[in-house]
């Protein structure tokens, strides 16, 4: 266990590096050593960039050094992109130079049957107190400071961190977050985790102010680290939601895990129970993972467990199906109190349904949605508001979304609002909601899982506060 001082020192080196060296940097097109240098330059890294390769005096307009031993200060991190057999020697030089962290992108270690080479790498790192991320990883990205220590595409800053063994998988998650307009706060691929593992990396993300939600992809845990990771998860989830995808559920997946990063998949049900007990969300579908992570960015300022979730829709069918999905997940959708129904009559046509879902009928305009939303936002008995829009040709879905969001902003965003959009001519509305970073989906299951995540998060925090008071 690291001391608080050591943890903060490690945090500063990885999340706020002043200088980074790329060992294996090259001007050759298509090589990882070139891509990493290009990425750091394009991302406008706020520190110093030091290419290291004895063959060149300059790489991409930057002075190159023949060895990391020649690199001047400040130097907090090195990125290693050389053939696996050379890596242990490189790490020893890093240790002699006083480097704190080495991100080893190179593959060809335990995942390729070379556990001996991986052990040699670890022994040299420990000899000089160099901390290793990797090997066989896709690197680390902190977009807000332009620290793009990876060969993956550039990423925009956001508030969701993605962390996992598989570089390709968490890159896909980062790409989807990008498409949704969310970006990432941090991207950490730790590959074979010869040294720094997810337990320590999660503790670093707990410190990271820009990270509000963590997506954690798990293939398997090292023998003996189960208790540590669970204790850390409990600590993290009290401050920040963690959404987990545990791979290797079935036999074929478990076999693939063993050959991919040299991990043991373990028994899925044990993982699932333990992670849930620690307050994490287990979601094994990429779209639902992203929906869940997004909705958990919303602040929870009211007790959802004692409030009424309300579905506001212009389509009775969608409302009924969403209500079914919510109740299947254990969330009751009760009828609205009579005084609220009475007030709704002022704003809705005679044939509208005043129950819950509130079916405003197909001709509901942006003005209708706004009046109903305003009424619900002002009533303390109402919790999550689920806005369903399936526009007929004569209704503008984007106008509805804009007006509802404007009313929500005016109310101070005290209550969570989520959107379900379906049908034709909804693309502009979806883009608008994504630009405003408001949760939106086009699947009934997705909207129900969003609401369920909010309720579960509220319930978990409530239990934590209760235990804290009792203790």
Q: Domains of the chain: which residue ranges?
A: 4-294, 300-462
Domain 300-462, CATH: 3.40.50.261
Q: Mind giving me the DSSP string for 80-145?
A: E-S-GGGHHHHHHHHHHHT-SEEEE----SGGGT-HHHHHHHHHHHHHTT-EEE-SS--EEEEGGG
> Is 4-294's fold the same as 300-462's?
yes
Q: Whole-angstrom Cα distance, residue 325 to residue 322?
A: 5
| Residue 190 DSSP symbol | -
End-to-end distance of the chain based on CA atoms, in angstroms?
25
At 4 the pLDDT is 67
**Residue 216: what are its φ and ψ, rounded to 5°?**
-125, 115
Fold (topology level) of 4-294 = Rossmann fold (3.40.50)
Q: Whole-angstrom Cα distance, residue 336 to residue 356?
A: 6
Q: Are 289 and 245 in contact (CB under 8 A)?
A: yes
| Residue 68 DSSP symbol | G
- Predicted confidence pLDDT, tens digits, the chain (471 residues): 566 678 999 999 999 999 999 999 999 999 999 999 999 999 999 999 999 999 999 999 999 999 999 999 999 999 999 999 999 999 999 999 999 999 999 999 999 899 999 999 999 999 999 999 999 999 999 999 999 999 999 999 999 999 998 889 999 999 999 999 999 999 999 999 999 999 999 999 999 999 999 999 988 777 667 788 899 999 999 999 999 998 765 444 444 444 444 444 456 677 788 888 899 999 988 899 999 999 999 988 999 999 999 999 999 999 999 999 999 999 999 999 999 999 999 999 999 999 999 999 999 999 999 999 999 999 999 999 999 999 999 999 999 999 999 999 999 999 999 999 999 999 999 999 999 999 999 999 999 999 999 999 999 999 988 877 665
């Amino acid at each position: 266990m690291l001391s608080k001082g050591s943890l903060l020192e490690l945090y500063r080196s990885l999340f706020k590096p002043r200088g980074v060296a790329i060992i294996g940097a090259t001007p050759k097109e298509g090589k990882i050593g070139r891509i990493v240098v290009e990425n750091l330059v394009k991302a406008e890294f706020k520190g110093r960039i030091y290419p290291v390769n004895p063959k060149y005096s300059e790489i991409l307009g930057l002075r190159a050094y023949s060895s990391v031993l020649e690199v001047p200060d400040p130097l907090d991190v090195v990125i290693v992109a050389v053939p696996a057999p050379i890596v242990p020697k490189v790490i020893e030089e890093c240790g002699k130079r006083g480097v704190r962290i080495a991100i080893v992108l190179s593959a060809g270690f335990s995942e390729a049957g070379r556990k001996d080479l991986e052990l040699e790498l670890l022994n040299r790192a420990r000899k000089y107190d160099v901390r290793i991320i990797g090997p066989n990883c896709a690197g680390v990205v902190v977009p807000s400071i332009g620290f793009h220590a990876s060969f993956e595409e550039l990423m925009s800053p956001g508030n969701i961190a993605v962390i996992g063994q598989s570089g390709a998988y968490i890159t896909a998650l980062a790409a989807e977050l990008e498409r949704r307009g969310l970006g990432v706060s941090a991207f950490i691929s730790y590959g074979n985790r010869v040294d720094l593992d997810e337990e320590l990396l999660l503790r670093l993300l707990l410190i990271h102010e820009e990270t509000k939600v963590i997506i954690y992809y798990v293939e398997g845990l090292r023998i003996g680290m189960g208790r540590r990771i669970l204790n850390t998860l409990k600590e993290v989830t009290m401050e920040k939601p963690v959404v987990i995808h545990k791979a290797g559920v079935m036999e074929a997946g478990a076999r693939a895990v063993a050959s991919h990063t040299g991990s043991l998949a373990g028994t899925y049900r044990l993982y699932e129970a333990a992670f849930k007990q620690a307050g994490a969300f287990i979601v094994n579908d990429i779209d639902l993972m992203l929906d869940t992570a997004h909705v958990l960015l919303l602040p929870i300022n009211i007790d959802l467990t004692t409030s009424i979730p309300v579905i506001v829709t212009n389509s009775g069918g969608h409302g009924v199906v969403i209500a079914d999905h919510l109740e299947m997940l254990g969330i009751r959708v009760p009828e609205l109190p009579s005084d609220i129904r009475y007030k709704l009559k002022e704003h809705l046509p005679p044939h509208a349904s005043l129950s819950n879902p509130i079916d405003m009928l197909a001709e509901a305009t942006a003005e209708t949605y706004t009046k109903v939303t305003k009424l619900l936002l002002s009533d303390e008995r109402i919790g999550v508001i689920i806005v369903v829009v399936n526009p007929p040709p004569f209704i503008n879905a984007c106008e509805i979304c804009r007006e509802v969001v404007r009313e929500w902003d005016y109310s101070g965003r005290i209550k969570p609002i989520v959107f379900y959009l379906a049908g034709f001519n909804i693309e502009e509305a979806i883009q608008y909601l994504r630009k405003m970073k408001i949760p939106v989906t086009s699947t009934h299951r997705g909207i129900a899982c969003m609401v369920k995540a909010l309720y579960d998060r509220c319930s978990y925090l409530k239990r934590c506060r209760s235990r804290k008071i009792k203790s």
